[in-house]
Amino acid sequence: MSRVIRITVLLMLLLTVSTPASAAGYQGNSFHGSIDGWETGFSPGPNEGRCPAGTEWMLFSAGVGEAAGYGTFVFEEAHCSRVLTLTPQGAIGKLSAGSMTLTFDDSGDELHIAFTGTWRYDGDLATGEGTAKVHQSWTVMGDASTGMFEGAEGHGAMQGVSSFHRILFELDGGLILSH
């Protein structure tokens, strides 16, 4: 009886360790990383031609990060944003037309992703004192990517916290490399 239990436990462990990224809803190689950045620019207004109708501002940021198995990178990103609802604690909003470039230090290869998402800001909107919790989904733009990421496919989730100056996010998803 105890041998049956040990074999069952061993099989469960093997399945857990060998489960591919596609089991989490992603295909290909798993892609996990972290981002530490800061705001580099702010553009109020609709930003016509770049942002969808209803956009109230565009935000730009940059920073550094690391992706397991791929190395360290620098990143630049821009996205459009708007408030959907004011709350007693702050606001709930939407971000759209986001684009991010991750340039990997060792190779110079670039991974380009597009993203959209939502945010909830708790704090004083007038002073910027507070924190936003951000939830996003991303898709690889393989035709814009370079090096090992050229022609890649993939998607995932990105979430974290942001003040009006600091950004801390985690990425989780999957990549299918064409090379």
Domains of the chain: residue spans and CATH: 23-176 (2.40.350)
73-114 pLDDT, tens per residue?
A: 999 999 999 999 999 999 999 999 999 999 999 999 999 999
pTM above 0.85? no
| Separation CA 11–CA 179 (nearest Å) | 33
Strands 110-124 and 90-104 come out as antiparallel
Q: Give the chain's mean pLDDT.
A: 86
